[in-house]
C-alpha cells in the first residue's frame, strides 16, 4: 500500500468524521480512561497519522524518559507498516521522524508558563512548525483549570491542535450525567472533544462523550486492538 | 610476594568530567598509604594528582588516558584503572571497562546524572560490569544526594537505594549515617584519616530508620534468609544485609548509593570498605575469549593458574625505560622469561621485565596470576592485542572499533618536527585504534583521522608537548562516503594494442545496493568465460574503483558487484587487463545506479539551564539538526539531537557564547545518512574545481 492510501483508509478518518472534521485548530481533545488501557498507544497512533500526512508534531510526556516514548513510535509505526504492507517503509520512517520531537517535563518542577515557554522555544527558535501537540501523562488531578486555559490560548495563538490523555481513578468510575469522568469536570468547558476508553471482555471500545458543543454518548465503532495496540474498526 | 587473587579487586572509577573523579582517586591512593601528600587536581603546588600522568591532562584538569595503579586496602589488593571521562575518548573508556571486574560510578551531588553518566552507564551495561554509586561533592552548594538517587532511578533505570545518609549538606556536611550499622560516622584529622563512630544525631533517627527499612526491603529480594527475617520482624544481622547487597550488585540488579566529598576527605574509606565488600574478585567473573581456530567460537576462560595463559594488552605507555604494556591476565600465569604468543601479529615473544605499577613507583615481579593487572616492558604490540600460551589461538572478544569520521591534514614546521611527528603518530596509532594516519598520495600531506574534532585536537597538542613536534593543521575534513541507490549494469571491454603484447578483458554484470556491509563480490560466471585466475583481478579492480568515487572523491560503500559474463583473449588477457576492465566496468555502471553522497551524523546531547533552551534549539536547527527530544525539570534541560558532523565544527565556541558558558554538549558518531541534494551538488562542484586546479598545477 502506498502512503496516500494508507492515510485515506486509516480508522482515524472515522473518528474525524464522527467529531465533524476533527478536534480543530485552537482546540483541545482528551482521551480518558483508567491507567493501563492504552491511552499512550492511541495518542501515538494519532500522532503517527499526522506525521504520515507530513505534519509536524510535538509529543509531550511527563514520564521521565524519552527513549520509552521513541520506542512507542517505533512500535506503532512498525505495526502500521506491517498491517498495511506499506511500501518503502524504511524511507517513510526516516522521513517522518524528522517531523517529530519528544519533549519531556517533570510536572512537579514546572509551571504552565515555563511549560509553554519551552514549547514556544521549540516552535519559534527551533523553527519546528508543529501543527499538533499530544500531551501524555498530564496529571489532571494535580493540575488546574487555569493551566488548561493557558494551554488553549497558546493553541489558539499558534494555530495548534492539542490532544491530551487523562488517567481516571481505577476505583472511581464515576461520571457526571453527561458521561464526563469526574476528574475532567472542572476542565470540561475548555475541552472540545472527550473520548473515553472502555475495556470490555475482549477489546477496548472508544466512546465519544463530547463533540464540540454537544454532549453525546456515542459508540465510535472503534476499538484499540489489544494485539497491535492500534486503533481499529470494530469487527 | 604472591597475591591472593580471591582478595583482589580490579575496579574503575567512571564519571562525568567535573564530578571529582581524579580527586577521589587521589584520596583512595592516600588512604591506602601509598602516597604521602594529597595534591589537588588543579592544585597550587603544581604537583597535580598522581594518576594524571600527562601534563596536558594536568593543565585541563581532566584525565585522558587510563593507567592502572595497585593499592592495598585492609589486605585486599586493588587495581584501580582510571577511566577517561570524555565521550571523544570512549575507545579508551571501553578498553578499560573490558578489563574491570567492578566500577564505582561517581555522579556529582550538584550536577547529578548528566549525559556523560548516561554514556558511561551504557558502557557499564555493555560490558556487564557490576558497580556501586558514590555521590561526590556533598559539600558543594546545591548538593542533593537524594535528588541524584532519584535521577539514577529515573534516568538510568537503576534500582538505586541509599546505603548512607548525609549528616548536613553543603558547607555543613559533617559526616554520614551508615544505614546498616546504624551509626553516625565522622572523619577526623587533617585528612579525615581518623574515623569516629557515634550515635545517630537525635533529629535524624527517624529518617535513618525510614531509609534503613527501604534498604532492607529493597535487598530482601536477593536473599531468602533476609526476607524471612525481615517479614517475621525478627533480628536482621549486618552480614545478612551485606550478603544480600552483594548478591544484588553482582547480579547488576541493585545500585547501592554511597555519599561523600573526596575533596573534604569524607566518605572515602567507607567507600573502599564497600568496594572490597560488594564488588567481585576476578575469579567470580566469567570471561570469554574467541577461538580463532574454531570460527571464533566463544570459550570460557578459567581463572585457574595452571591453565594456559590468556592475557589482553589494554594500554600502552611510553616511559623513560621504553614501551610499557599494561595487561590483564584472564587465565593462567605470566612469568618472567616465559614465552607468549601475540595472536594478532602471529609473533612469539619472551616476557622480559614484569612490573606491578604502584601510584609512585614500579615493582619488579617474577610472576603474576590470572585476574591480575600488571605491565610488561619492551614488548612490540598494539593496544587490544591478545597474548596467549603458544598452544592457544585465542583472541579476547574483539572490541567494536568504529571507522573514523573526521580527518585533518598536518604540516610539520621543520625537519625535526617532521621526525618527531612520525614517532608520535606511530605511538598514537598503536594506543588508539580509532586514531589513524596516512599520507595523501596527491597532496603528499600527512592526514590524521579520528572520531571528533576534540579527539584530533588532543593528539595534535600531545604531539607538541610530548614530542616537541610543531605542526600546522589544515581545516578538519568530514569523511564523506558515496553509495548507489539502484542497480546499474555493465558490459565493458578493455582493449589496448600498442605494439608488443596487448591488453584484453571483457566483464559483464551489474552492481546493486548492499546494506549489510561496505562491499560484496559475487562471482556468477558460468562455463569459465573468465578463467578462474582472473576472477581475483576483477575483484581487485572493483575495490580499486571504489577507493575514490567519481562524485566527490570519497570511498564508495554499500555495493554488491556481480559478474556473470565476460570474455578473454588467449594472448592479450592478463591480471592487469582484467583489473583495468573491472575499473572501467564499475565506472560505467556507477553512473547508472543513482549514486548519492553520504555524510556522518552525530548524536549530539546539549545540557544546560532551561533559560538557554531556545538558543540551543535554534543552534541545532541552523546546523541541519533534527531534535529528537528535550527533557527538563524546571531549571535544567537536556536536548538530544542528530546533527551532521560537517555542521558541528566550532560548535563548542558557539554554544559557549550563546549560553554564557553555562551549557555543554557531547557528541558521538551515530550513522551515515544521505546528504541533501543541494549540499551534494556543492560538494561535487568543489571537488571538480579542486581537480581542475590540481590538473592545472601538474
The pLDDT, as a whole number, for residue B158 is 86
Residue with cell 586493588: B78
Handedness of CA B86, B89, B91, B93 (dihedral sign): negative
Q: Is the pLDDT of residue B52 over 80?
A: no
Q: Is the pLDDT of residue B581 over 70?
A: yes
Rounded-to-integer distance, Cα B375 and Cα B5, Å: 17
As separate numbers, helices (DSSP H) first and strands (DSSP E) second, chain A gives 7, 9
Are residues B320 and B375 both part of a single domain?
Answer: yes
Are residues B498 and B584 both part of a single domain?
Answer: yes
Mean of the pLDDT values across residues B344-351? 86
Rounded-to-integer distance, Cα A130 and Cα A148, Å: 19
Rounded-to-integer distance, Cα B92 and Cα B98, Å: 10
Rounded-to-integer distance, Cα B250 and Cα B9, Å: 13
pLDDT > 70 in chain B, percent: 90
Q: Is A98 on the interface with B (CB under 8 A)?
A: yes
Q: Which of A106, A120, A126 sits opposite B621 (nearest CB)?
A: A126
- B394, B290 contact by CB (below 8 A): yes
Write the DSSP symbol of residue B611.
G
For residue B631, the chain A residues in CB contact (below 8 A) are 64, 66, 103-105
Helix H or strand E encompassing B90: helix B90-99
The pLDDT, as a whole number, for residue B322 is 77
- The verdict on residue B696 lying in a domain is no
Query: How many Cβ atoms from other residues are within 10 Å of residue B444's Cβ?
Result: 7
Give the tens place of pLDDT for each residue, B220-247.
888 888 888 877 777 888 888 899 999 9
- The verdict on residue B136 lying in a domain is yes
Closest alpha carbon to B424 in B384, B475, B459: B459
Are residues B433 and B329 both part of a single domain?
Answer: no
CATH at B424: 3.30.70.870
pLDDT band (50, 70, 90) for residue B660: confident
Are residues B28 and B154 both part of a single domain?
Answer: yes
Between B690 and B121, the more confident residue is B690
Are residues B14 and B104 both part of a single domain?
Answer: yes
- The verdict on residue B698 lying in a domain is no
Rounded-to-integer distance, Cα A229 and Cα A41, Å: 6
Where do the domains of chain A lie?
A: 3-233
Give the tens place of pLDDT for each residue, B138-190.
888 888 888 889 888 877 778 889 999 999 888 888 899 999 999 999 988 87
Q: Which of A102, A109, A124 sits opposite B628 (nearest CB)?
A: A102
The pLDDT, as a whole number, for residue B617 is 92
Are residues B467 and B486 both part of a single domain?
Answer: no
Query: How many Cβ atoms from other residues are within 10 Å of residue A83's Cβ?
Result: 14
Give the tens place of pLDDT for each residue, A59-82.
999 876 788 899 999 999 999 998
Query: How many Cβ atoms from other residues are within 10 Å of residue B662's Cβ?
Result: 13
pLDDT band (50, 70, 90) for residue B664: confident
Q: Which residues contact B11 (CB under 8 A, 6 or more apart)?
A: B78, B79, B80, B81, B100, B101, B102, B103, B104, B275, B279
Q: Is B234 exposed, middle or buried (0-12, 13-18, 19+ CB in 10 A)?
A: exposed
The pLDDT, as a whole number, for residue B588 is 93
Q: Which residue of B has its CA nearest to A69?
A: B629
Q: Which of A104, A106, A124 sits opposite B629 (nearest CB)?
A: A104
Q: For residue B63, give Cα distances in angstroms to A204, B34, B361, B371.
A: 56, 20, 20, 25
Q: Which residues contact B72 (CB under 8 A, 6 or more apart)?
A: B32, B34, B78
CATH at B130: 3.40.50.300
Q: For residue B638, give Cα distances in angstroms to A13, A134, B148, B629.
A: 36, 20, 16, 8
- The verdict on residue B349 lying in a domain is yes
Are residues B362 and B329 both part of a single domain?
Answer: yes
The pLDDT, as a whole number, for residue B67 is 62
**What are the DSSP E strand ranges found in B206-305?**
255-259, 287-291, 297-301
For residue B628, the chain A residues in CB contact (below 8 A) are 66, 70, 97, 101-102
Are residues B670 and B530 both part of a single domain?
Answer: no
pLDDT band (50, 70, 90) for residue B33: low
C-alpha cell at B59: 593543565
Mean of the pLDDT values across residues A94-105? 90
The pLDDT, as a whole number, for residue B92 is 63
Q: Is the pLDDT of residue B309 over 50?
A: yes
Helix H or strand E encompassing B26: helix B21-31
Give the tens place of pLDDT for each residue, A162-177.
999 999 887 777 888 8
Mean of the pLDDT values across residues B527-545? 92
CATH at B555: 3.30.230.10
Best A56, A65, A66, A126 residue to mutate vs chain B (most B CBs within 10 Å): A126
For residue B630, the chain A residues in CB contact (below 8 A) are 101-104, 118, 122
pLDDT > 90 in chain B, percent: 26
Q: Is the pLDDT of residue A107 over 60?
A: yes
Q: Which residue of A has its CA nearest to B625?
A: A98
**What are the DSSP E strand ranges found in B281-415?**
287-291, 297-301, 310-319, 322-331, 334-335, 339-342, 347-350, 354-357, 362-365, 367-368, 373-377, 386-388, 394-396, 406-412
Pairing of strands B373-377, B595-609: unpaired
Q: Which residue of B has its CA nearest to A105?
A: B632
Give the tens place of pLDDT for each residue, B399-410.
456 778 888 999
Q: Which residues contact B577 (CB under 8 A, 6 or more apart)?
A: B494, B496, B503, B504, B505, B537
Closest alpha carbon to A24 in A215, A193, A186: A193
- The verdict on residue B312 lying in a domain is yes
Rounded-to-integer distance, Cα A33 and Cα A59, Å: 19
Rounded-to-integer distance, Cα B85 and Cα A37, Å: 43
Q: Do B637 and A128 touch (CB under 8 A)?
A: no
Q: Is the pLDDT of residue B36 over 50?
A: no
pLDDT band (50, 70, 90) for residue B296: confident
Q: Is the pLDDT of residue A183 over 70?
A: yes
Q: Do A97 and B626 touch (CB under 8 A)?
A: yes
Q: Is B643 helix (H, G, I), strand (E, B) or coil?
A: strand
Identify the weakest region by mean pLDDT among B32-41, B289-298, B392-401. B32-41
Q: Is A75 helix (H, G, I), strand (E, B) or coil?
A: helix
Are residues B280 and B306 both part of a single domain?
Answer: no
Superfamily of domain A3-233: P-loop containing nucleotide triphosphate hydrolases (3.40.50.300)
Angle between helices A89-96 and A66-83 (to 10 degrees): 150
- B83, B13 contact by CB (below 8 A): yes
Q: Do B613 and A118 touch (CB under 8 A)?
A: yes
Are residues B527 and B639 both part of a single domain?
Answer: no
* A63-72, A114-123, A197-206, B120-129, range with greatest mean pLDDT: A114-123
Q: Is the pLDDT of residue B87 over 50?
A: no
Rounded-to-integer distance, Cα B618 and Cα A127, Å: 7
Query: How many Cβ atoms from other residues are within 10 Å of residue A13's Cβ?
Result: 12
Q: Is A176 on the interface with B (CB under 8 A)?
A: no
Between B374 and B344, the more confident residue is B374
Q: What share of chain B is helix, strand, coil (3-state, %, to 5)?
A: 35, 30, 35
Closest alpha carbon to B48 in B61, B34, B30: B61
Q: Do A101 and B154 touch (CB under 8 A)?
A: no
Q: Is A128 on the interface with B (CB under 8 A)?
A: yes
C-alpha cell at B372: 591480575
Q: Is the pLDDT of residue B59 over 50?
A: no
Are residues B246 and B136 both part of a single domain?
Answer: yes
pLDDT band (50, 70, 90) for residue B558: very high
Total structural domains in chain B? 5
The pLDDT, as a whole number, for residue B121 is 77
Q: Is the pLDDT of residue B541 over 90?
A: yes
Q: How far is A72 from chain B (nearest CA, A)?
A: 14
- Give the A window 5-34 contacts with B, CB below 8 Å: none
The ipTM, to two decimals, is: 0.89
Mean pLDDT over each residue of chain B, to the nearest integer: 84
**What are the DSSP E strand ranges found in B208-305?**
255-259, 287-291, 297-301
The pLDDT, as a whole number, for residue B545 is 94
Give the tens place of pLDDT for each residue, B252-281.
889 999 998 888 888 898 999 999 999 999
* B34-43, B49-58, B549-558, range with greatest mean pLDDT: B549-558
**Domain around B277:** 5-284
pLDDT band (50, 70, 90) for residue B16: low
Q: Which of A65, A103, A109 sits opposite B634 (nearest CB)?
A: A109
CA B282, B286, B291: angle at the middle one, nearest 5?
120
Mean of the pLDDT values across residues B317-334? 84
Q: Is the pLDDT of residue B137 over 80?
A: yes
The pLDDT, as a whole number, for residue B116 is 65
Q: Do A110 and B629 touch (CB under 8 A)?
A: no
Are residues B531 and B440 both part of a single domain?
Answer: no
Angle between helices B21-31 and B268-278 (to 10 degrees): 80
Q: Which of A69, A102, A125 sits opposite B615 (nearest CB)?
A: A125
CATH at B344: 2.40.30.10
Q: Which residues contact B330 (CB under 8 A, 6 or more apart)?
A: B287, B289, B301, B303, B310, B311, B312, B370, B371, B396
pLDDT band (50, 70, 90) for residue B549: very high
Amino acid at each position: 500500500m502506498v502512503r496516500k492510501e494508507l492515510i485515506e483508509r486509516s480508522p482515524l478518518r472515522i473518528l474525524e468524521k464522527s467529531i465533524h472534521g476533527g478536534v480543530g485548530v485552537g482546540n483541545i481533545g482528551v482521551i480518558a480512561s483508567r491507567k493501563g488501557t492504552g491511552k499512550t498507544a492511541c495518542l501515538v497512533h494519532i500522532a503517527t497519522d499526522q506525521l504520515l500526512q507530513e505534519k509536524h508534531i510535538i509529543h509531550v510526556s511527563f514520564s521521565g524518559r524519552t527513549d520509552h516514548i521513541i520506542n512507542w513510535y517505533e512500535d506503532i509505526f512498525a505495526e502500521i507498516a506491517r498491517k498495511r504492507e506499506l511500501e518503502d517503509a524504511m524511507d517513510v520512517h526516516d522521513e517522518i521522524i524528522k517531523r517529530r520531537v519528544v519533549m519531556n517535563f517533570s510536572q512537579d518542577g514546572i509551571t504552565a508558563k515555563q511549560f509553554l515557554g519551552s514549547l514556544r522555544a521549540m516552535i519559534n527558535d527551533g523553527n519546528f512548525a508543529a501543527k499538533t501537540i499530544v500531551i501524555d501523562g498530564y496529571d489532571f488531578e494535580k493540575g488546574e483549570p487555569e493551566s488548561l486555559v493557558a494551554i488553549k490560548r497558546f493553541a489558539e495563538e499558534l494555530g495548534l491542535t492539542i490532544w491530551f490523555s487523562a488517567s481516571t481513578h481505577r476505583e472511581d468510575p464515576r461520571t457526571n450525567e453527561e458521561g464526563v469522568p469526574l476528574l475532567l469536570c472542572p476542565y470540561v468547558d475548555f475541552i472540545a472533544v472527550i473520548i473515553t476508553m472502555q475495556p470490555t471482555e475482549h477489546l477496548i471500545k472508544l466512546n465519544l462523550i463530547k463533540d464540540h458543543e454537544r454532549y453525546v454518548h456515542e459508540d465510535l465503532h472503534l476499538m484499540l486492538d489489544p494485539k497491535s495496540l492500534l486503533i481499529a474498526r470494530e469487527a | 610476594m604472591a597475591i591472593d587473587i580471591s582478595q583482589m579487586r580490579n575496579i574503575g572509577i567512571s564519571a562525568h568530567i567535573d564530578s571529582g573523579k581524579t580527586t577521589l582517586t587521589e584520596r583512595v591512593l592516600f588512604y591506602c598509604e601509598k602516597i604521602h601528600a594529597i595534591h589537588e587536581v588543579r592544585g597550587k603546588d603544581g604537583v597535580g594528582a598522581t594518576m594524571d600522568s600527562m601534563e596536558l591532562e594536568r593543565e585541563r584538569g581532566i584525565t585522558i588516558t587510563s593507567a592502572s595503579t595497585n593499592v592495598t586496602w585492609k589486605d585486599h589488593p586493588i587495581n584501580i584503572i582510571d577511566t577517561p571521562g570524555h565521550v571523544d575518548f570512549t575507545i579508551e573508556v571501553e578498553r578499560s571497562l573490558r578489563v574491570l571486574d567492578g566500577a564505582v560510578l561517581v555522579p556529582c551531588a550538584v550536577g547529578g546524572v548528566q549525559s556523560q553518566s548516561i554514556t558511561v552507564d551504557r558502557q557499564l551495561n555493555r560490558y556487564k560490569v557490576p558497580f556501586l554509586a558514590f555521590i561526590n561533592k556533598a559539600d558543594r552548594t546545591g548538593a542533593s544526594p537524594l535528588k541524584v538517587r532519584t535521577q539514577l532511578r529515573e534516568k538510568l533505570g537503576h534500582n538505586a537505594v541509599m546505603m548512607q545518609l548525609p549528616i548536613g549538606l553543603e558547607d555543613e556536611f559533617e559526616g554520614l549515617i551508615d544505614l546498616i550499622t546504624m551509626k553516625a560516622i565522622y572523619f577526623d584529622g587533617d585528612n579525615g584519616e581518623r574515623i569516629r563512630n557515634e550515635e545517630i544525631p537525635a533529629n535524624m533517627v527517624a529518617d535513618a530508620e525510614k531509609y534503613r527499612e527501604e534498604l532492607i526491603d529493597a535487598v530482601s529480594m536477593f536473599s531468602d534468609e533476609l526476607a524471612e527475617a525481615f517479614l517475621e520482624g525478627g533480628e536482621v544481622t549486618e552480614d545478612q544485609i551485606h550478603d544480600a547487597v552483594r548478591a544484588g550488585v553482582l547480579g547488576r540488579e541493585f545500585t547501592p548509593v554511597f555519599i561523600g566529598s573526596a575533596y573534604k576527605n569524607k566518605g572515602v574509606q567507607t567507600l573502599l570498605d564497600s568496594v572490597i565488600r560488594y564488588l567481585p574478585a576476578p575469579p567470580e567473573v566469567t570471561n570469554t575469549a574467541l577461538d580463532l581456530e574454531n570460527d571464533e567460537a566463544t570459550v570460557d576462560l578459567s581463572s585457574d593458574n595452571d591453565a594456559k595463559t590468556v592475557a589482553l594488552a589494554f594500554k600502552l605507555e611510553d616511559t623513560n625505560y621504553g614501551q610499557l604494556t599494561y595487561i590483564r591476565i584472564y587465565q593462567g600465569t605470566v612469568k618472567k622469561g616465559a614465552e607468549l604468543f601475540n595472536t594478532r601479529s602471529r609473533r612469539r615473544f619472551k616476557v622480559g621485565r614484569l612490573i606491578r605499577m604502584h601510584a609512585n613507583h614500579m615493582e619488579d615481579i617474577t610472576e603474576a596470576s590470572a585476574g591480575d593487572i600488571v605491565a610488561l616492558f619492551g614488548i612490540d604490540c598494539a593496544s587490544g592485542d591478545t597474548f596467549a600460551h603458544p598452544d592457544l589461538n585465542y583472541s579476547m572478544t574483539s572490541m567494536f572499533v568504529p571507522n573514523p569520521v573526521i580527518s585533518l591534514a598536518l604540516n610539520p614546521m621543520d625537519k625535526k618536527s617532521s621526525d618527531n611527528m612520525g614517532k608520535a603518530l606511530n605511538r598514537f596509532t598503536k594506543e588508539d585504534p580509532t586514531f589513524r594516519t596516512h599520507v595523501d598520495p596527491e597532496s603528499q600531506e600527512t592526514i590524521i583521522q579520528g572520531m571528533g574534532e576534540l579527539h584530533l585536537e588532543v593528539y595534535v597538542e600531545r604531539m607538541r608537548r610530548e614530542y616537541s613536534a610543531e605542526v600546522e593543521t589544515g581545516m578538519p575534513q568530514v569523511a564523506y562516503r558515496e553509495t548507489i541507490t539502484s542497480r546499474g549494469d555493465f558490459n565493458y571491454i578493455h582493449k589496448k594494442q600498442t605494439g608488443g603484447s596487448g591488453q584484453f578483458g571483457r566483464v559483464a554484470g551489474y552492481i546493486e545496493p548492499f546494506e549489510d556491509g561496505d562491499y560484496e563480490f559475487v562471482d556468477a560466471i558460468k562455463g569459465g568465460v573468465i578463467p578462474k585466475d582472473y576472477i581475483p583481478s576483477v575483484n581487485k579492480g572493483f575495490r580499486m574503483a571504489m577507493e575514490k568515487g567519481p562524485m566527490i572523491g570519497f570511498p564508495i560503500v554499500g555495493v554488491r558487484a556481480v559478474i556473470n559474463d565476460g570474455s578473454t583473449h588467449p594472448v592479450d588477457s592478463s591480471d592487469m587487463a582484467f583489473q583495468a576492465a573491472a575499473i572501467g566496468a564499475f565506472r560505467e555502471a556507477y553512473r547508472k545506479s543513482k549514486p548519492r553522497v553520504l555524510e556522518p551524523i552525530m548524536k549530539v546531547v546539549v545540557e544546560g539551564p532551561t533559560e538557554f533552551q531556545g538558543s540551543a534549539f535554534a543552534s541545532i536547527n541552523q546546523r541541519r539538526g533534527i531534535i529528537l527530544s528535550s527533557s527538563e525539570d524546571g531549571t535544567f534541560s537536556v536536548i538530544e539531537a542528530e546533527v551532521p558532523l560537517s555542521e558541528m565544527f566550532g560548535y563548542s565556541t558557539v554554544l559557549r557564547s550563546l549560553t554564557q558558558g553555562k551549557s555543554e554538549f557531547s557528541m558521538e558518531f551515530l550513522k551515515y545518512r544521505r546528504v541533501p541534494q543541494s549540499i551534494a551538488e556543492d560538494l561535487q562542484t568543489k571537488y571538480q574545481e579542486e581537480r581542475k586546479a590540481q590538473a592545472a598545477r601538474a
